[in-house]
């Protein structure tokens, strides 16, 4: 190959990576830059341009992939500003998924070291590896968010937010309070739901499916009833005040963590309902509730800022 063949090969390797309508212009500009630089190198060396000199010069000029990237618009799936958020949400999400998967499997009987290894193997193949769907979903989500911001930057303009505000206002808080009252109603006697909708004419199997075990009624039920009831004066106070205070936030956090611990106790400590199918369903929703509460706590904890010198 002569020097011209070397240059043509280089320019072609760069140009083919560009959109077709851009290739010829970039190739012409790039060829002019290379010819000029190579001629300066030849003048400094006091000899003519040959294939060896051209190859050495182009190797220092940059790899064709890197040069092509300078001419292409940058393809950013996740904006740099979202990088830390993406990593944080990925780690938190995976930690919650792994923890809950382990929590569910700890309900299995363990009688030997072999049972422990078998449990860990089930957790690894059934929870840890399949959990990689979470980072994939986040890549798509953050990518769509970045695209939307570039299309309509005005929608992502910063706006000040009050730290003690009520999300959704008093209406949302009142709805949450009603939900707590309904939860207490169902917790005291879930079979009341059947009486409410079917006026006492539901099938006996339905009543059996919603019958608590004696162990749950004696151990966990009173604590869950107390924790849910304590939320009533808390939410009522927030509704009247119209905003959160530091004290109310601390009380809310304490109640949430205590409720989370009680729910984990229920999941791990025997059946809730006598019917196995009902027990599995309620424990599934308890696990979801634990995941949400832990996630909410982690987000609130992360967003706490208290200006002070180091």
pLDDT along the chain (310 residues), means of 10: 85 87 88 88 83 86 85 78 87 88 76 79 88 90 84 67 67 86 83 75 79 89 91 89 85 91 90 87 88 83 65
Provide the pLDDT for residue 5: 85
∠ at Cα 50 (49, 51), nearest 5°?
135
Q: How many residues does the chain have?
A: 310
Provide the pLDDT for residue 110: 73
Provide the pLDDT for residue 258: 93
CB 234 within 8 A of CB 249: no
Q: Which residues in 5-28 are b (16+ Cβ under 10 Å) and which e?
A: ebbeebbeebbeebeeeebeebbe
Instruction: List the structure tokens of 251.
Output: 């009380």
CA quadruple 201, 203, 209, 211: dihedral, nearest 10: 40
Provide the pLDDT for residue 85: 87
Model's pTM, two decimal places? 0.53
Provide the pLDDT for residue 310: 55
Long-range contacts of residues 222-226, Cβ cutoff 8 Å, at least 24 apart: 223/262, 223/265, 224/187, 224/259, 224/262, 224/263, 224/266, 225/184, 225/187, 225/188
Provide the pLDDT for residue 265: 92
Give the Cα separation of 254 and 288 in Å (integer): 19
Provide the pLDDT for residue 255: 92
Local structure of 212: helix, strand or coil: strand
- Distances 130 to 54, 67, 68 between C-alpha atoms, Å: 51, 39, 37
CA quadruple 295, 299, 302, 304: dihedral, nearest 10: -130
Provide the pLDDT for residue 307: 64
């Amino acid at each position: 190959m002569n020097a011209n063949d070397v240059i043509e090969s280089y320019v072609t390797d760069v140009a083919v990576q560009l959109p077709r309508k851009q290739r010829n212009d970039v190739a012409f500009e790039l060829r002019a830059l290379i010819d000029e630089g190579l001629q300066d190198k030849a003048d400094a060396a006091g000899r003519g341009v040959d294939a060896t000199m051209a190859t050495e010069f182009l190797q220092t000029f940059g790899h064709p992939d890197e040069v092509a990237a300078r001419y292409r618009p940058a393809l950013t799936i996740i904006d740099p500003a979202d990088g830390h958020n993406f990593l944080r949400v990925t780690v938190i999400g995976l930690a919650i998924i792994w923890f809950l998967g382990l929590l569910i499997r700890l309900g299995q009987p363990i009688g030997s070291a072999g049972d422990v290894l078998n449990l860990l193997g089930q957790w690894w193949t059934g929870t840890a590896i399949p959990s990689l769907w979470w980072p994939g979903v986040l890549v798509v989500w953050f990518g769509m968010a970045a695209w939307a911001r570039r299309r309509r930057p005005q929608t992502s303009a910063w706006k000040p937010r009050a730290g003690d505000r009520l999300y959704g206002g008093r209406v949302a808080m009142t709805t949450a309070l009603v939900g707590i009252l309904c939860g207490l109603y169902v917790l005291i006697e879930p079979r009341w739901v059947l009486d409410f909708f079917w006026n006492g004419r539901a099938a006996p199997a339905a009543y059996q499916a919603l019958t608590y075990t004696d162990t749950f009624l004696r151990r966990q039920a009173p604590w869950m009833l107390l924790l849910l009831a304590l939320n009533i004066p808390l939410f009522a106070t927030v509704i009247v005040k119209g905003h959160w205070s530091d004290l109310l936030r601390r009380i809310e956090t304490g109640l949430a963590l205590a409720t989370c611990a009680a729910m984990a106790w229920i999941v791990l400590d025997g059946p809730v309902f006598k019917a196995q199918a009902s027990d599995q369903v309620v424990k599934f929703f308890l696990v979801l509730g634990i995941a949400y509460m832990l996630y909410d706590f982690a987000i609130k904890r992360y967003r706490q800022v208290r200006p002070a010198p180091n």
